[in-house]
Structure 1
Amino acid sequence: MQTSISLLAATLYGACAVLPADRRRAIAFGVAIGWLLHGIALAMDVLSPLALRLGFAVMLSATLWISVAVYWLESRNFPLDGLRPLVLPCAALAVLLPIVFPGTVVSLEGKPALFSWHVAISLLAYSTLTIAAFHAILMALQESKLHTRSPAAFGGGWFAAALDRLPALLTMEKLLFRMIGLGFALLTLTVLSGVVFSDQLFGQPVKWNHKTIFTMLSWFMFGLLLVGRRWRGWRGKTALSFTLSGFATLLLAYVGSRFVLEVVLHRGLA
């Protein structure tokens, strides 16, 4: 049942990714149904009585599920069709990953309610910064296209048309910093809850392992970007570089460690 729902969600995402841009209602409806099915499959995979199933594939699936929601909501106010060929194919792949890499069951017995909130806030922070990274990639491509004289440099066709449909760079930049600001606030809550309440959450003091270090480094990079934006007017390539570098660091902290443990070393969650 869960596999069938995941396959149907992936099919809807894939179909909506290739539909013509003028089929806006069909795209919005298809994405909404795919998102609901994705959420059902994700809930069936993650939730069980007094336990959670977690792993790198589940985390990626949850991230893209929330990212699709952000894309769908923002596209109602801004012409963000250029995000569609990036977000939806990735979501189609992510919804299928837990079938291949199911992860490990983590018991909730004896864990405080704060543990579930910590996990939820972490996923929200990660997902918001994921869509910000997608957005930064589009901005880089959009800026490159503006400075490229040859129309054939981007191959023409649907890809060039998708870039042309994006809002002006200044509008895109405002959207980027809105998402980074929200993601940074959620990441701050994640770091604070993980450090201050480590004993209650994990039953041990905070461990300065690679995950903690990469998370703190990512938090510092996004915080520095927001400070630089506020006091130095950072924008353009500087903002894009910080966004992508901060996201790559966060990716190593959350997904990279799970991938190494589960796929490379064949170990469960610690």
Structure 2
Amino acid sequence: MAIVLDTLIIDGQLSGARFGFAPALSVTSWLVIAVYALESHRLELPSVRRLLTLLAAITVGLAWVYPGRPYPLVNQSNWLPLHWLLGFASYGLFGAALLHAALLRHAERQMRANSGASGQIPAPVRGQALGMPLLRLERLTLKFVSAGFAMLTLTLALGFWLTTPWHWDHKSVFSVLAWGVFATLLVGRARFGWRGRQAVGWLIAGSTLLLLGYVGSRFVLEVILQRGTH
């Protein structure tokens, strides 16, 4: 309900949407929590649940304080809402990939701790991570990266098509750089078998660039420069 109230213009005469860095974070956190909810029967981790709950509360509060800028759909392309949805989907999918990568790293540390001084992993936990095989958790992480990359590719392609003439602003530059990092990660995984810390490092780097693309540029405009809210 908070996301609907934050993003839809329901009190004005013109139909449209309201977007900014805080609503974008709110939608992203919702998507990540939705993924966790679907997997909670296998990944029932109280500490993760508390962290996601805190994240949701913070983003809802930020969206209330910084509602963003209204975008009436008058004289706008009918494809613009799809561009927004694809962009939010890419944020959410990469956020889910980061969540799974964090769970994978946590599981690996847990297995090392269970090995004890002998260095032997007990049979009940060998190859398992939080009730799920390690390789399956790793494949899930990669699937979310692949799906997020596909959504990001469509977002950039649609944005290039809708923007005439095309101009290289901060959002475009960081988004294209993020696309390049994710493309490198997927190629490195397929051709050279990148995994573990190396793959996670590329995932974090690409996600950081993507976050700087829209959320970062809008944060600077709305909070630091206090512009672009009307």
Smaller-chain TM-score range? Answer: 0.7 to 0.9
In the TM superposition, residue 226 of structure 1 has moved relative to its aligned partner by: 1.1
Question: In structure 2, what is the Cα distance between the partners aligned to 1:86 and 1:164?
Answer: 19
Distance 1:68 1:166 in 2: 19
Q: Which amino acid aligns with 1:252?
A: L
2:96 corresponds to which residue? 131
Hey, what's the Cα distance between the residues in 1 that align with 2:54 and 2:61?
11
8 A Cα contact 2:104 2:129, kept in partner: no
The alpha-carbon deviation at position 72 of structure 1 amounts to 1.4
Match in the other structure for 2:69: 104
Map of 1:80 onto structure 2: 43
Residue type at the aligned position of 1:46? T
* Alignment match, 1:266: 226
Match of 2:194 among 234, 238, 252: 234
- Give RMSD over aligned pairs: 2.2
> Which runs of 5 or more structure 2 residues have no equivalent in the other structure?
117-127
2:107/2:130 contact within 8 Å kept: no
| Unaligned residue ranges in structure 1 (runs of 5+) | 1-39, 152-162, 200-204
> Which residue of structure 2 lines up, in the alignment, with residue 222 of structure 1?
182
Contact kept in structure 2, 1:81 and 1:166, CA below 8 Å: no
Q: Take 1:70 and 1:258, find their aligned partners in 2: how far apart are those partners?
A: 26
Change (3 A) 1:89 1:252: same
Task: Give the residue type in structure 2 aligned to 1:59.
Answer: A
Deviation at 1:140, TM superposition (A): 2.3
Q: What's the offset of the Cα at 1:148? A: 4.6
Number of residue pairs aligned between Structure 1 and Structure 2: 213
**C-alpha spacing 1:150/1:229, structure 2 compared with 1 (3 Å):** closer
Asked if the contact 2:129–2:137 (Cα under 8 Å) also holds between the matched residues in 1, the reply is no
Q: Is the 8 A contact 2:20 2:67 kept in 1?
A: yes
Letter in 2 for 1:181: S
Deviation at 1:117, TM superposition (A): 0.7
Maintained 8 Å contact 1:86/1:134: no
The runs of 4+ residues in structure 1 deviating greater than 4 Å are: 148-151
Q: Which residue of 2 aligns with 1:42?
A: 3
**Which amino acid in structure 1 is aligned with residue 200 of structure 2?**
L
Contact 2:178 2:206 survives alignment (8 Å): yes
| Distance of 2:115 and 2:220 partners within structure 1 | 42
Once the two structures are TM-superposed, the CA of residue 269 in structure 1 deviates from its matched residue by: 5.2
Matched residue type, 1:237: R
Higher helix share: 1
AA aligned to 1:229 is: R
In structure 2, relative to structure 1, the CA distance for the partners of 1:269 and 1:100 (3 Å cut) is closer
TM-score by length of 2: 0.84
Identity of aligned residues (%): 39
Instruction: Using the TM superposition, give the Cα deviation of residue 198 of structure 1 relative to its aligned residue in structure 2, in angstroms.
Output: 1.5
Aligned pairs (5 A) from 1:16-95: 40-48=1-9, 49-76=14-41, 79-82=42-45, 83-95=48-60
Amino acid at match of 1:127: G
Aligned to 1:192: 157
1:116 aligned residue: 81
